[in-house]
Structures are given as C-alpha cells and as structure tokens.
Structure 1
C-alpha cells in the first residue's frame, strides 16, 4: 500500500472494534528508515489557553492549521495516517450516531498529526502519563455528512498518491489535502463497518 517503503508493525495482534477518543488506535507514522504501524492515544495536547485546570483531556480533531499551537506539528515528521473502515457523527440528543463508510469499500485513512512521548494529566485517577498522541484534521462536510454534521467532517484520504503527499510533502502542498471527500464517496450505514 505504501509503494515499497520499509514498513514495520509494532502493534502486535490488534483486536477489531471501534475506537473512541482517549483510546489507543493504530496509526501509520514515520520511523527511522521507513514507516511503522503503531498505537497512539487519540487526543493531541490542548492549547494552554483553553485549559481551566491541570487536566488536559486532549483535542480529537484539528481544523485551524494556522494556529501557532498546531503549526509546530504540521511538518512531515509529525504527520500520520489513521486507518479506518467507517466513522461516526452524533445525530443529536438521544438519537445515537450516524455511521459512514466508503461507497466502494476502498481503503481510507484520516489525515493525522502526532506527537510522541507527551507527558500530561489526561485523567486525574491515572495521574500524569507519557503517551504517543494523535488527532486528525477536519474540513467542511461533503453532501453525505452535511445533513448530520453541518460544520465539519474528517479529512479522509483514499488514494495512495495522497497518502504519500500527506506523509512527505511540505505543508504548503500537503495542506491542500484538507478538503472534503467528493460527494458520493461515502455511504450511510446503521453500524460500524
């Protein structure tokens, strides 16, 4: 899938299932001499200006890449791909989630950013922890997502050339991938795929 790049899997035997914020998820990231499939905790460090206490629950997605808080992690060394088969958007109070999958079941990745070895207080009961963290970019929604979430959708990459661009290109080029999937690319599902 990644054009013959050296590839290492450090995840072990990954169990299938859904991933939610603040949980470990697989990410494809840079390593010495190639790429690796590793596990990272979902939620990048929050901007200090939004924190009311020492506890930082993390930020699950990033929209404003012009923010000084995010700019430090936009270079290729901090970019990752987050594999997915489907994703959910909340439908509103008591209505559960609407799930989305690729219309043709093609491979999909969120365009992500990551930081390794970040020490923070995510949960008071756990105390400070040091984690590899990630979040993914969002953009305006396409036709399938807009009725459920009119403000945003994840940046999803489905083509190998886009995966490579996201992982390797300068941000002035890679940042152009922060766009919605073309209308008709996604299908609605009742449950995760």
Structure 2
C-alpha cells in the first residue's frame, strides 16, 4: 500500500492476511491530518436510528442509497476511504454458500470505495458494552453481468486505477463513481485470494 499510494503514512502496523467480515477490523486508506494514512477501522457505519429496534447497532456495511439523510453527511471528501481488497464474496442463496470473485488480471490492485467516520460511540455487541470505534462502509453500485448472476441487487464500487483512487479521495461526486467494473474484469474463484 505504501508503494501504491504516494505520501501514505502507515498507522495500521502489521496487518495480518486473511478474510474480513462485517463488524471486524480491516485496513483502510483515509485522509489524516498530515495527508493520507493507512489505519485499521471496524466494518459497519452507524445505522440510522429509525431502523434500530434495540440499543444494539450492528452497523451499515454497504451504502446503496446516497440520498439517505443519515449517511449523506459522510459522503463528502473528508470521510472518504479506500478499502484494499484481493477478492470478495457474495452469498449464493440460503444454504448455498458464497461465490468468490477476484481480478481477472492478477496484477491489478483493487480497492473498494468507502466512507468512514472516527470515534463513534455505540453498542455493537452486548457482551462488549459501549465501544468507541473508527468505522467504515462500502459504496455499492448496480452489479455487472458476472456478479449480477449471484447478487442481482448490487456490487461494491471497485477501483483498479490510481486516477480512480485519487478521484474518489479528492472529491469526485459519489454518483459519478457508481458504476460496475466491466464484465471481464472479475473472475470466479474457488476461495479467497
């Protein structure tokens, strides 16, 4: 990441390889006080209060509705992030497991476009009590043909070129970025890469 994103400060330390799931910590690239920084954050932005049935907030992992007043405050430049990814999965259906996707060109670096907030106090797990966390969620778009066969609703906004990474972090309108990768850009794989 340090070599790919110019001027990046590493505040994440050693990041172990492995799969990341909602409500877990993962590396993200965000705006810091002194430029871009690599940090660890918890996957799941604060949920809109109107959807919570208890004090527990499981978090919003994917942002589909850019007009949601609750989430709109985090769409500006200062709350944008990139989530490094080598592969991702989508559920095949109840009891059918997941389908994994990876870049067709193995040398391509992928980032999900995301939003983040810092120092949010919430009750994520009752056993842990209230915690204060840096949080993030993924921006989604309509699926391409390959992903759409498995997940017809949406897919993550995936960026593969440095000019896309810079445009997202530096201020392109979210609506302009919400487009799927071309169908040939992803391949089906047996498991995480």
Deviation at 1:170, TM superposition (A): 4.8
Structure 1 stretches lacking a partner, 5+ long: none
SS in 2 for 1:122: coil
SS in 2 for 1:125: helix
CA distance, structure 2, for counterparts of residue 175 and residue 78 of structure 1: 16
- Give runs of aligned pairs for residues 25-174 of structure 1, distance below 5 A: 25-105=26-106, 106-171=108-173, 174=174
* Structure 1 runs, 4 residues or longer, greater than 3 Å off: none
Structure 2 stretches lacking a partner, 5+ long: none
Deviation at 1:175, TM superposition (A): 2.9
SS in 2 for 1:167: helix
Q: Residue 20 of structure 1 corresponds to which residue in structure 2?
A: 21
For residues 106-141 of structure 1, give each alpha carbon's deviation from its aligned partner in whole angstroms, at most 9, with x where no partner exists. Answer: 000000000000000000110000000000111110
SS in 1 for 2:167: helix
Query: Aligned residue pairs: how many?
Result: 189
Q: Residue 189 of structure 2 corresponds to which residue in structure 1?
A: 189
TM-score by length of 1: 0.95
TM-score by length of 2: 0.95
CA distance, structure 2, for counterparts of residue 147 and residue 71 of structure 1: 30
Deviation at 1:85, TM superposition (A): 0.2
Q: Alpha carbon RMSD of aligned pairs, Å? A: 0.9
